[in-house]
Amino acid sequence: MTKYDETVTMLKDLTDAKGIAGHEKEAREVMEKYISPYADEVYTDHLGSLIASKKGNSEGPKVMVAGHLDEVGFMVTRIDSDGFIYFQTIGGWWNQVMLAQRVTIMSNDGDITGIIGSKPPHILSAEARNKPVDIKDMFIDIGASSKEEAEKFGVKPGDSVVPYFEFTQMKNEKMLLAKAFDNRIGCAIAIDVLKGLKDADHPNTVYGVGTVQEEVGLRGARTSAHMIEPDIAFGVDVGIAGDTPGVSDKEADSKLGDGPQIILYDASMVSHKGLRDLVVKTAEENEIPFQYSSMAGGGTDSGAIHLTHNGVPALSITIATRYIHSNAAMLHRDDFDNAVKLIIEVIKNFDNEQLEAVRKA
């Protein structure tokens, strides 16, 4: 059995946990276990987002570091007479990555293994074989012979369905492969930021947050930010990697291992210039590698957080990741470590004077 260091063990436990939008309990419990030793208080909002606070100077600014607990998955909608399961996607899926993938149905009677299937290509017309299969034509096969048997197994409409993949440390041990890096990697960043500040003096209060329901509309970010009322916020998430065959620099130019991504713009937010400038200055002064990125489509929890209350200066700091929104994604350990280091260095000096400077930028 492979032996992992403390951080990789945490990443394995977080990504192995099952938690689609609206059913994040298992992932939340794992995050709570890891973040509690470094927090003064741990609680949830009424939608289920986890909030862990660490007090430095209670008169100083409130800093929110938010990753989301939920992963993309599916929900059971019906069972046909032959025992096949039909489903609704939860979060964004590309149909070409779904077929023949193993999934886990989370029933009240325990986990049930299934596989996503469709009509076999051997009986399709030549025209149909050349087209991607529509998601509406897919189903989940759990090996049941009838609706009654599927129900006897414990399956019912509303059950969560989660992609299955075993966490893997690649031959290059800094390359990590797992399901749900989107966005347990952000939750892990929040955990390690509080861990890194355990014995540090910081002129502020820090909130490490695991939000719920990001994949279906940034919902937990909004409710948790209303509860915290942060002065600044970092949305920490995965970003688009551009270092695979066929991707041009003008489409995506980030590379795994070249540092965390500072997001300039996405479909949910124009990043706050004052906060962005402070983060870039901090990275340069501490020789922490980083790369700029932007996304014409999609967004992060920062998009919801920055619109709460009177407005919150916010910035997304992301980890370049390959193959997101599929059964498995790949990222680089160094990018995670450097994201944690960068956020810690910003927080160590972020006082009321710096807050005013950020707001006036």
Q: 259 is in which domain, residue-wise? A: 6-71+179-360
pLDDT digits (tens, 9 = 90+) for 315-332: 999 999 999 999 999 999
Q: Are 204 and 327 members of one domain?
A: yes
Whether the per-residue pLDDT at 352 is higher than 80: the answer is: yes
Question: What percent of the chain lies above the pLDDT cut of 70?
Answer: 99
Q: Are 213 and 311 members of one domain?
A: yes
pLDDT at 131: 86
pLDDT digits (tens, 9 = 90+) for 189-218: 999 999 999 999 999 999 999 999 999 999
CB of 276 within 8 A of CB of 329? no
Closest by Cα among 189, 238, 190, 220 to 49: 220
Q: Are 306 and 210 members of one domain?
A: yes
Q: Which amino acid is it at 207?
A: Y
For residue 212, the tally of other CB atoms under 10 A from its CB is 28
- The structural domain count of the chain equals 2
Residue 28 counted as domain residue: yes
From the DSSP assignment, how many helices (H) and strands (E) are in the chain?
A: 10, 18
pLDDT digits (tens, 9 = 90+) for 288-347: 999 999 988 888 999 999 999 999 999 999 999 999 999 999 999 999 999 999 999 999
Q: d(Cα 113, Cα 103) in Å, to the nearest integer?
A: 6
Collapsing DSSP to helix, strand or coil, 91 comes out as: coil
pLDDT at 75: 98
For residue 241, the tally of other CB atoms under 10 A from its CB is 26
pLDDT tier for residue 16 given thresholds of 50, 70 and 90:
very high
Q: Are 225 and 264 members of one domain?
A: yes
Q: Are 102 and 147 members of one domain?
A: yes
Question: What percent of the chain lies above the pLDDT cut of 90?
Answer: 93
Q: d(Cα 226, Cα 64) in Å, to the nearest integer?
A: 11
What are the helix (H) ranges across the chain? 6-16, 25-35, 126-129, 147-153, 181-196, 219-228, 273-285, 302-305, 333-348, 352-360
Q: Are 123 and 216 members of one domain?
A: no
pLDDT digits (tens, 9 = 90+) for 30-57: 999 999 999 999 999 999 999 999 999 9
Residue 171 counted as domain residue: no
Known catalytic residue: 26? no
Q: d(Cα 218, Cα 224) in Å, to the nearest integer?
A: 11
pLDDT digits (tens, 9 = 90+) for 165-178: 999 999 999 999 99
Residue 149 counted as domain residue: yes
Q: Are 281 and 329 members of one domain?
A: yes
Residue 172 counted as domain residue: no
pLDDT at 79: 98
Transcribe 100-144 into DSSP letters: T-EEEEEETTEEEEEEEE-S-GGGS-HHHHTSPPPGGG-EEE-S-
Q: Are 156 and 189 members of one domain?
A: no
Q: Which residue has the tokens 């960068």?
A: 342
pLDDT at 1: 54
pLDDT digits (tens, 9 = 90+) for 97-149: 999 999 999 999 999 999 999 988 787 788 888 888 999 999 999 999 999 99
Whether the per-residue pLDDT at 3 is higher than 80: the answer is: no
Q: Are 109 and 251 members of one domain?
A: no
CB of 351 within 8 A of CB of 357? no
Angle between helices 6-16 and 333-348 (to 10 degrees): 100
Q: Which of 214, 229, 285, 345 is catalytic?
A: 214
pLDDT at 2: 67
Last residue of a domain, one of 133, 163, 193: 163
Q: Are 83 and 55 members of one domain?
A: no
Collapsing DSSP to helix, strand or coil, 317 comes out as: strand
Radius of gyration of the chain (CA): 21
Q: Are 61 and 104 members of one domain?
A: no
CATH code where residue 311 lies = 3.40.630.10
For residue 304, the tally of other CB atoms under 10 A from its CB is 28
Residue 1 counted as domain residue: no
Q: Are 341 and 259 members of one domain?
A: yes
Close Cβ partners of 310 (under 8 Å, ≥ 6 residues apart): none
